[in-house]
Structure 1
Amino acid sequence: MFNNGLIDLHRQVQAQLWVDKINKAHETSQLCPWVSTFHPKRLTCKLEGGFYHGSFNAGMVRFPRVGKVHNEYIDEKTAMEVRALSLIRERTTIPIPKVQAWGYAAENPLGLGAFIMMDFVNGVCLNDLLIETDKADPTRLLREDISDGDIEVIYRQFANFLLQLFSLDYDSIGNLPSPEDKPESLMPKRPLTYKAHDILHNGGVDVFGGRCQGFATVTEYFQYLLEQDFGQLNHQPNSIYGPNDARRRYLSLKVLESLLPDLINKNYDGGKFELICDDLGLANLIYLNIYKRVLEEEEAKMPGHEKRELSNLVKWSQESGLHMLMSVGFNDQDSFPFMQLHQHVGEKEWKRREVEFRTLPEVEAFVTQKTITLEKYEVAMGKLKSEKVLVDAGQMTHEAFLATSIRLG
């Protein structure tokens, strides 16, 4: 499933306006004096390294970049990140920078949005270890000469971190409590997930559904996640490629819906619940067999993990594909997690369920409506692309383009 092109063009222009604003703050010498106001002794600071990937000699300042984070959730994302950093720093040995100051968008006098000021932690970037950055045309492909030993060292550290996080238990699924230094700004208890944000930010569909409460069971939470997939499929105008694709996508989600009760691990349905980063999971691990072995070895060393719960859950998740499937948006029947689940269930059983749902009147009604919506979307995209050409040529202002893109979207 592609991003919503109308949203993409809107964000490109929106991001450029923010970059222009932050460049101006730097060029007019507003940025460093502002950072200095947060230093206990108000010492002067200077920018070290490149502007976008550099740091200040007083520490590091991070902004959620406009165009990468949806405007409506920038404050919430920032607050949750501060809370997670503080919690991990207090309750684990994972090297986490100390947050010196932070604030919401309304607290930034430069108009650059929410911010976090933190200590800089020295370390070795994984890119320097895994990718050939010295090439004339560097790529994100792994170095050909990387050894299993190097991978094992990295995975062993990663496993140790996850085992420590796995020891932090919670009674419900949701956001962490609001940061202690801003107790008055209560955040919703429902989780701000990568999936829901991605569907909104890149698909243009708000699937949070106005929910503010957390979840008491995995069953309830997974049903909520599946509703998000149905919401994206129904309301993102280009969520299909044509009538046949629309039918296949709808039937795949109906099959998944029917399978959910049997796929949820009953031992963990009512908790305990753990702290996770839903943008970091098995899909990020290329050498999964090495990781599973290393994880088991690290579990054996760490007190409190004698039952090897985490490694057993990793194996179960890998076999079913369910966790990856429920954690990400933009799903379709040809994605890796869906194919993994398909294989886990078996071709015969999958087909049996598809045939069962194919006769439902709602299926063809959905196909008809989505085909009409797709045609309207393609017309709107043609108009917006023409106006983006005018922006690039300097014949239309960024602000005028944004107004048009909102109307067409």
Structure 2
Amino acid sequence: MVFFDECHETDGDNEWKAWLEQVFDAKQEIIDFASSRRTGNCPLEFDSYLKGSFNFGLSIQFNDGGPKTLIRFPKPGHTATTLRDEKVTNEVSFLNYLGQNTRIPVTRVTSWGMTEENPQKLGPYIIMDFVEGTRSTNIMMMANEDPRDDFVLDPKIYNAKLGIYDQIADYIIQLSRLNFDAIGAISQANSSSSKTWTVTGRPLTYNMNELATYCRVFD
């Protein structure tokens, strides 16, 4: 058994907060960098910040009618620093693989790179089309008078709206049909014409990141 280390958790939170201040200070430089990786030359404006459990991004709006652009970084302190480059590499490979081998809709990656490849050195990054959408809970939940109450499925919901579960089931079935001879990270053969994907690296799992972040097992 490995015990959860609250000191390391605090260190991670502090690392994340310090990094976030750097992002805020370099906001315009980040936007300019993301814009330089996009085809065309049109005016742009900052849209919003987006934060998840392990990633932080900036959404950018252009005025040429195209989709918004999102530049996304793994959050240091919540994603182990030693694993960030590996994480981004794996994510880009898997998005490309899904795009080639399934009907699952995935966003278009326009650029990506490691920490040393962006001027601000804020970490590895992915620049992709921002996908507009609506949270499924907003569609299917019953309105609560108290926002602290748990979400409850609206009993009067139209069956057509429940079709989202059919879509999810179809995605899961497609994923279940993807087979490799080993467990791990995948990559494509070094050929522009080849569509062969093989397992070439170790798996990078949620538990590995938790151990590295909060227990320093892999440091």
TM-score, normalization: structure 2?
0.77
Are residue 62 (structure 1) and residue 72 (structure 2) matched?
Answer: yes
Q: What residue is the counterpart of 1:196 in the other structure?
A: 208
Are residue 171 (structure 1) and residue 172 (structure 2) matched?
Answer: no
8 Å Cα contact 1:83-1:179 kept in structure 2: no
Amino acid at match of 2:15: Q
Aligned residue among 57, 64, 73 for 2:83 = 73
Are residue 108 (structure 1) and residue 127 (structure 2) matched?
Answer: no
RMSD: 3.0
Structure with greater strand percent: 2
Are residue 41 (structure 1) and residue 55 (structure 2) matched?
Answer: no
Structure with greater helix percent: 1
For the residues of structure 2 that align with 1:125 and 1:103, how far apart are their CA atoms?
Answer: 29
Distance 1:15 1:174, change over 3 A: same
For the residues of structure 1 that align with 2:145 and 2:42, how far apart are their CA atoms?
Answer: 40
Determine helix, strand or coil for the equivalent of 1:97.
coil
Determine helix, strand or coil for the equivalent of 2:50.
coil
Q: What residue is the counterpart of 1:16 in the other structure?
A: 17
**CA offsets, 1:314-350, max 9 Å, x none?**
xxxxxxxxxxxxxxxxxxxxxxxxxxxxxxxxxxxxx
Instruction: Report the CA distance between 1:158 and its aligned residue.
Output: 1.3
For the residues of structure 1 that align with 2:129 and 2:147, how far apart are their CA atoms?
Answer: 32
Unaligned stretches of 5+ in structure 2?
Answer: 52-57, 62-67, 192-198
Q: What residue is the counterpart of 1:313 in the other structure?
A: none
Aligned residue among 148, 168, 174 for 1:158 = 168
8 Å Cα contact 1:79-1:179 kept in structure 2: no
Distance 1:86 1:180, change over 3 A: farther
Alignment map for 1:167-246 (pairs within 5 Å): 167-177=177-187, 189-206=201-218
Are residue 93 (structure 1) and residue 117 (structure 2) matched?
Answer: no
Structure with bigger gyration radius: 1
For the residues of structure 1 that align with 2:59 and 2:144, how far apart are their CA atoms?
Answer: 23
Same amino acid, percent of matched pairs: 25
Q: What residue is the counterpart of 2:50 in the other structure?
A: 52
For the residues of structure 2 that align with 1:113 and 1:179, how far apart are their CA atoms?
Answer: 26
For the residues of structure 1 that align with 2:211 and 2:121, how far apart are their CA atoms?
Answer: 26
Amino acid at match of 1:52: L
Q: What residue is the counterpart of 1:368 in the other structure?
A: none
**CA offsets, 1:175-231, max 9 Å, x none?**
1126969xxxxx962111112222222233239xxxxxxxxxxxxxxxxxxxxxxxx
8 Å Cα contact 1:79-1:178 kept in structure 2: no
**How many residues in Structure 1 have an aligned counterpart in Structure 2?**
198
8 Å Cα contact 1:46-1:56 kept in structure 2: yes
TM-score, normalization: structure 1?
0.43
Amino acid at match of 2:81: N
For the residues of structure 1 that align with 2:8 and 2:201, how far apart are their CA atoms?
Answer: 28
Q: What residue is the counterpart of 1:25 in the other structure?
A: 26
For the residues of structure 2 that align with 1:71 and 1:65, how far apart are their CA atoms?
Answer: 9
Unaligned stretches of 5+ in structure 1?
Answer: 182-186, 208-409
Q: What residue is the counterpart of 2:64 in the other structure?
A: none
8 Å Cα contact 1:32-1:44 kept in structure 2: no
